[in-house]
Amino acid sequence: AQKVTQAQTEISVVEKEDVTLDCVYETRDTTYYLFWYKQPPSGELVFLIRRNSFDEQNEISGRYSWNFQKSTSSFNFTITASQVVDSAVYFCALSESNFGNEKLTFGTGTRLTIIP
């Protein structure tokens, strides 16, 4: 069975600080996909990144970066120089690779508050 653990329930940092959100996953599949989504107060889930299990390269997109380590089954997300607009709930998710399986298994989310 698949499982995603986001141990940090809530994090608060002062604006401009860096912050890392942790994600640990469990799966028996050798091929799988990992995702991060952002849910602002409006409620809509916003896609941030998708990574497949064969691509362990870290990725950077502006102030966002992701560290994927298969050895520790982790897919952590770092925001550099945080801004108030980054305040939201962030979800890590996992899906199997089988064609026809679009099911996302989500973690419980991390509520990030950026203090101005």
Contacts of 100 (CB under 8 A, 6+ apart): none
* Residue closer to other proteins (CB basis): 34 or 82: 34
- Please tell me the distance from the alpha carbon of residue 40 to that of residue 111, in angstroms, as a whole number: 10
Minimum distance from residue 63 beta carbon to other proteins (Å): 20
* Residue closer to other proteins (CB basis): 78 or 97: 97
- Please tell me the distance from the alpha carbon of residue 51 to that of residue 80, in angstroms, as a whole number: 20
Minimum distance from residue 23 beta carbon to other proteins (Å): 14
- Please tell me the distance from the alpha carbon of residue 106 to that of residue 47, in angstroms, as a whole number: 13
* Residue closer to other proteins (CB basis): 63 or 103: 103
Minimum distance from residue 45 beta carbon to other proteins (Å): 4
Locate 3 and state its tokens: 């499982």
Q: Please report which helix (H) or strand (E) contains residue 78, including its range.
A: strand 74-79
Minimum distance from residue 18 beta carbon to other proteins (Å): 25
- The footprint of other proteins (CB under 8 A) covers 33, 35, 37, 42-47, 50, 52, 91, 95-109
β-sheet bridge partners, residue 14:
115
* Residue closer to other proteins (CB basis): 86 or 96: 96
